[in-house]
Amino acid sequence: MGHVNTQITLKNIFDVRDARKGNLPEDKIRQVTINVMVDTGASMLVIDEKIFKQLGVDVMEESEITLANDAKEKCKVTEPLVIKWEDRSIVMPALVIENSPDFLLGVLPLEGMDLIVDTVNQKLIGAHGKKPVYRA
């Protein structure tokens, strides 16, 4: 299949809330735009320690995870972040792998934003067209 890479923006959800309430200027929202590899074998968003610190969120918990090579590793789970891709977004935690060689966008944020991998054209597309379809 090859690799599908894309760009996402991550935002500190608490800064977003404070800006919405008028308590923080929009330009003070801690955010970062990064290139990620779309990985349907991963469940969550994976970032490294540097990005985690830039976003200024806290650790919600520590958890043992299983890597692609079946090795076990302890990692931090962040407080929720805003994950934005084009005009779609979702709020969820990320896994912090200290020296991760890649940032990964896993299936939970993909599903939450109603995205699928177009393997022919090697890109992300809306699962139900241009507008996300959310099911309840």
Q: What is the DSSP letter of 57?
A: P
**Whole-structure pTM value:** 0.92
Residue by residue, pLDDT tens for the chain (136 residues) are: 568 999 999 999 999 999 999 999 999 999 999 999 999 999 999 999 999 999 999 999 999 988 888 889 899 999 999 999 999 999 999 999 987 778 999 999 999 999 999 989 999 999 998 888 887 7
pLDDT reported for residue 55 = 98
Nearest C-alpha neighbor of 75 from the set 112, 42, 37: 42
Residue ranges of domains in the chain, CATH in brackets: 4-126 (2.40.70.10)
Q: How far apart are CA 107 and CA 90, in angstroms?
A: 12
Query: Alpha helix locations (H) across the chain?
Result: 13-20, 49-55, 107-112
